[in-house]
Chains A and B, each alone.
Chain A
Amino acid sequence: ELKVEQNPLFLSMQEGKNYTIYCNYSTTSDRLYWYRQDPGKSLESLFVLLSNGAVKQEGRLMASLDTKARLSTLHITAAVHDLSATYFCAVDSTQGAQKLVFGQGTRLTINP
């Protein structure tokens, strides 16, 4: 059974600092997705990572995938308050039909 774990679950940081969110998963997969959720809202797609070594960047966020280590990272550079949200990683189950298994989410708070 595929399990996805994120850490940390809660992260409070100051504007201008750098930090990394980690996403570990338990079984083989080469498809991983990062989503953002604002309070009371739906999920917004951030990155789609489809192969080992994939790296995607958008503004102050950069995501990478290491399928051998079963690890993805979401790196935040010079954080700004607008990035405060909950971030989820999700892994595509490769057994049978497509199903996404989500991590618990990382609640990120960026303080001025």
Chain B
Amino acid sequence: DGGITQSPKYLFRKEGQNVTLSCEQNLNHDAMYWYRQDPGQGLRLIYYSQIVNDFQKGDIAEGYSVSREKKESFPLTVTSAQKNPTAFYLCASSWTSGGREQFFGPGTRLTVL
């Protein structure tokens, strides 16, 4: 089955800790994205990558970091510099041509204790 997987589904972090959220896709998509969703809100773009070994900041990149060493993987690290990280994190992927429809993974719910 082709799709996007995210792990873990739920993640608890103590203040001051860095945590890494996994995102893997086997759709052979070129582009991958990370979004944050707060309760009752829309999605906000954190980082995106259109090609391996390259990525750009989105609208709310402060306190986050990413890497894109493989086409199928785009992990997100939430650092201790992110002061309010409790949220629902969604990873997506798409082609970079044609309809460029983004397909979303199941999400990771991060809670700071």
Contact = CB atoms under 8 A, between A and B. Distances in A.
- Name which of A31, A42, A97, A102 has the most chain B CB atoms within 10 A of its CB: A42
Contact of A98 (B44, B100, B104): B100
Main secondary structure of the interface of A (DSSP, over half): strand
Contacts of A100: 33, 43, 45, 102
Interface residues of A, number: 23
A103 B42 contact: yes
A99 interface: yes
Nearest to A4: B42
Nearest to B41: A104
A100 B93 CA distance: 12
B90 A42 contact: yes
Contacts of B48: 97-99
Interface stretch (A43-51, A57-65, A70-78): A43-51
A92 B94 CA distance: 12
Given A88-B42, A97-B48, A100-B45, A42 B102 contact: no
Interface of B: 31, 33, 40-45, 48, 50, 56, 58, 90, 92, 94, 96, 99-107
Interface of A: 31, 33, 35, 41-45, 48, 50, 88, 90, 92, 97-105, 107
